[in-house]
Chains A and B, each alone.
Chain A
Amino acid sequence: MKYRTADNRTMIEILVLMFGGMLAGYLLRHRRRLIRFLEKLIIWSIFLLLFFLGVAIGRDPVIMAGLPSLGLSALLLSTAGVLGSVLLALVIWKVYFSRR
């Protein structure tokens, strides 16, 4: 795997931007047209970033060769996560909900 250093600065910047955004969004909540425009912008910037992630993957022969193994890792992790969460959901269902 190719590593890039994960630094605390990126984390703080992401969190500050998101929570600052939440405050700004709360203040701007009545400007519906602006909010709708910004939400469209979100969808397009996600598409753009996913496209760039795709470009970076497609260009990297090591990752391309490893795609099946990355897919297997992904499948294992999602199965484990889903299984763990539904088991706890079953406990909550039994304890708090199904009695009523």
Chain B
Amino acid sequence: MFFAAGVLFGYAGWLPASVTESDASTYALYLLMLLVGISIGADSRSLLIIKQQGARLLLLPAATIAGTFAGVLPVALLMNTVSAAEGIAVGAGFGYYSLSSIIITQMHSESLGVIALLSNIIREITTLLLAPLLVIWFGRLAPVASAGATSMDTTLPIITTASGKEFAIIALFHGIVLTILVPPLVTFIMTFAV
């Protein structure tokens, strides 16, 4: 919504150029990263679940990361609009469209930022719409993997509906791990995509 409003404002030329040409958005991103860190650190669920479940639960988040990259890499290599590193950076948003698109815009370009925004919104919508089908085709863990970082909040209800209530903890943990990993992964991959 805010993105669409921004497109309208920019297209109509309602804002002076100085608003977006300045470093303000870089500092806004820095502030945002600090705040995101604080909210993760203050979330007692993160520590609690890690203490309870140990390393075994890391398997699914690791599979989501590896599977996403393995899927994106060949497709990105075939596309002429993005390079391999750019495609993987977009994939490393894991549905966390707001933060990943902002980081990619700052570190790379507006156009790749838009691809990241749309691609990760599509990932969330795909999960919301297809969760029951994903369970049939790819088993009960599939909606969690497809949800990526969103499995801890926006897609958690549909996951528990499609896969079962017993998957809530797995989904929550999976989403927390990926949410923490999105900023480091995206920024790290972006350094290869100059």
Residues of A near any B CB (own CB < 8 A): 1-8, 10-11, 13-15, 17-29, 35, 38-39, 41-42, 45-60, 63-64, 66-67, 69-71, 73-94, 96-98
Establish whether residues B146 and A35, one from each chain, have CB atoms under 8 Å apart when the complex forms: no
Q: Is B110 touching A82 in the complex (CB atoms < 8 A)?
A: no
Q: B52 on the interface (CB 8 Å rule)?
A: no
In the complex formed, the residue of A with least CB distance to B144 is A89
> How far is B19's CA from A42's CA once the two chains are assembled, in angstroms?
20
Q: How many A-B residue pairs have CB under 8 A?
A: 320
Whole-angstrom distance from the CB of B11 to the nearest CB of chain A?
Answer: 4
B34 located at the interface, meaning its Cβ lies under 8 Å from any Cβ of chain A in the complex? yes
Count the B residues whose beta carbon is within 8 Å of the partner chain — how many?
100
SS of B interface (majority): helix
Closest to A15 in B: B184
- List B contacts of A10 (CB < 8 A): 26, 106-107, 187
- In the complex the two chains form, is B107's CB within 8 Å of A69's CB? no
By CB atoms of chain A within 10 A, which of B6, B117, B134 has the most?
B6
- CB–CB A88/B63 < 8 A: yes
Q: Which residue of A lies closest to B126 (CB)?
A: A82
How many whole Å from A12's CB to the nearest CB in chain B? 9
In the complex the two chains form, what is the Cα distance from A38 to B39 in whole Å? Answer: 8
**Cβ of A46 to closest chain B Cβ, rounded Å:** 4
